[in-house]
């Protein structure tokens, strides 16, 4: 009897191997408590920012913990839209995410396809160079890139925001791994049907690697949306500021002076701006979490 039970548990744990391997003892209340505590620490600041942004400014200062849905107000948002060019920031960010993201999503799989499925003289050398560029920190390029932009007359332009880093080595590496798993027979079949090299890429490779593309897409969109260091250096006029740059100038006003103007209302605007900037990525994350997690894990494979 007990033999059968152990045999069964053994079979269960073997089938569960692929996903969850550590079949330990049943987790006790302490473990749940620890995990729940940690989860609260991680989520509460987000909740606190969003709920506080809906409070009247005086209330934010009087009692940071209070929140009553009844007295929720959009006053902070109204004031923020009035004082801060956040709409322009949003539009600029959308434009950069769309164009730069589209470039990544097209050129990186294309190069990954060539590295995965073609044999050509110099391939290993070219790929080695590509991997070497992965080790180059963005920081070292900031100053000379800014100078290059000013030589080109590109400071405060969209191309300055979009082109540098638009085709990145890591995404190519990732797509190469993904495309290597596509069976050659599938590509051969396309060739027999008379598809050209580019046609095979567009009509066979791209549809087959859709899950990988989705992960690449959400991660790329998130990274470009949240990008700050380069945009804050490359752009200093209001017309081209991305959302993150607009937010950072708002923060500068806050730390500047706290006596004089009613700084409670500035806090309200700050929280409103932060919340509104968070919402799109958080919504995307909740809807597409599987792709996000695949994307994050793809990063660790190279290690």
Query: Which residues within the stretch 34-63 sit at the binding site for other proteins (CB under 8 A)?
Result: 34-35, 38-39, 41-43, 45-46, 48-49, 52, 60-61, 63
The piece of 76-84, 94-102, 179-187, 206-214 that touches other proteins (CB under 8 A) is: 179-187
Burial of 183 (0-12, 13-18, 19+ CB in 10 A): exposed
Q: Half-sphere exposure of 62 toward its Cβ, with a 13 Å CA cutoff?
A: 7
Which of 79, 99, 130, 214 contacts other proteins by CB under 8 A? 130
Cβ contact 172:103 at 8 Å: no
Please count the CA atoms within 13 angstroms of the CA of 25 that sit on its side-chain side: 4
* Segment lying near other proteins (by CB under 8 A), choices 67-75, 78-86, 117-125, 209-217: 117-125
Nearest by Cα to 209 from 279, 135, 108: 108
Interface residue with other proteins among 165, 175, 215, 235 (CB under 8 A) is 165
Q: Which of 11, 13, 74, 261 binds other proteins (CB under 8 A)?
A: 13
Q: Which residue in the set 7, 74, 91, 123 belongs to the binding site for other proteins (CB under 8 A)?
A: 123
Nearer to other proteins, 213 or 222 (CB): 222
Joined tokens for residue 44: 């509460």
Distances 56 to 69, 224, 270 between C-alpha atoms, Å: 12, 33, 13
Q: How far apart are the C-alpha atoms of 129 and 115, rounded to whole Å?
A: 13
∠ CA 142-144-146, rounded to 5°:
65
Give least dist CB 280 to other proteins, A: 9
The least distance separating other proteins from the CB of residue 210, rounded to whole angstroms, comes to: 19
Task: Supply the minimum distance, in Å, between the C-beta of residue 299 and other proteins.
Answer: 8
Minimum CB separation of residue 103 from other proteins in Å reads 8
244 Cβ contact partners less than 8 Å away, ≥ 6 residues apart: 89, 93, 226, 227, 228, 231, 232, 277
Site for other proteins in 240-259 (CB under 8 A): 243-244, 247-248, 250-251, 254-255
Nearer to other proteins, 137 or 207 (CB): 137
Query: What is the SS3 assignment for 221?
Result: helix
- Is residue 303 within the footprint of other proteins (CB under 8 A)? yes
Among 80, 101, 113, 235, binds other proteins (CB under 8 A): 113
Site for other proteins in 197-216 (CB under 8 A): 197, 201
Q: Does residue number 146 form part of the binding site for other proteins (CB under 8 A)?
A: yes
Q: Which stretch binds other proteins (CB under 8 A): 75-83, 94-102, 208-216, 276-284?
A: 276-284
Taking a C-beta distance cutoff of 8 angstroms, is the pair 176, 106 a contact?
no
Residues near 8 by Cβ (< 8 Å), separated by ≥ 6? none
Q: Which residues, numbered 66-95, are part of the site for other proteins (CB under 8 A)?
A: none
């Amino acid at each position: 009897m007990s033999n059968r039970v152990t045999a069964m548990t053994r079979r269960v744990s073997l089938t569960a191997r692929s996903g969850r391997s550590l079949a330990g003892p049943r987790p006790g209340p302490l473990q749940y408590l620890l995990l729940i505590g940690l989860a609260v620490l991680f989520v509460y600041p987000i909740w606190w920012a969003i709920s506080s942004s809906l409070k009247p400014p005086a209330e934010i200062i009087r009692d940071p913990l209070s929140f009553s849905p009844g007295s929720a107000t959009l006053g902070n948002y109204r004031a923020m839209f009035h004082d801060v060019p956040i709409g322009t920031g949003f539009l600029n960010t959308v434009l950069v995410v769309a164009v730069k993201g589209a470039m990544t999503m097209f050129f990186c799989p294309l190069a990954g396809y060539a590295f995965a499925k073609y044999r050509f003289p110099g391939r290993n050398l070219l790929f080695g160079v590509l991997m070497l560029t992965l080790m180059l920190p963005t920081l070292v390029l900031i100053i000379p890139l800014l100078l290059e932009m000013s030589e080109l007359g590109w400071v405060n332009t969209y191309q300055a925001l979009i082109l540098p880093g638009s085709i990145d080595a890591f995404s190519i590496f990732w797509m190469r791994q993904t495309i290597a798993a596509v069976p050659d027979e599938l590509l051969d079949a396309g060739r027999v049907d008379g598809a050209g090299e580019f046609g095979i890429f567009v009509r066979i490779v791209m549809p087959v690697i859709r899950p990988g593309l989705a992960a690449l897409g959400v991660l790329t969109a998130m990274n470009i949306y949240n990008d700050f260091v380069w945009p804050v250096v490359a752009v200093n006029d209001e017309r081209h500021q991305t959302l993150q740059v607009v937010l950072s100038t708002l923060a500068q006003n806050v730390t500047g002076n706290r006596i004089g103007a009613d700084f409670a209302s500035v806090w309200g605007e700050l929280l409103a701006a932060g919340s509104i900037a968070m919402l799109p990525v958080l919504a995307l994350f909740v809807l597409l979490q599987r792709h996000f997690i695949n994307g994050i894990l793809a990063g660790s494979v190279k290690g």
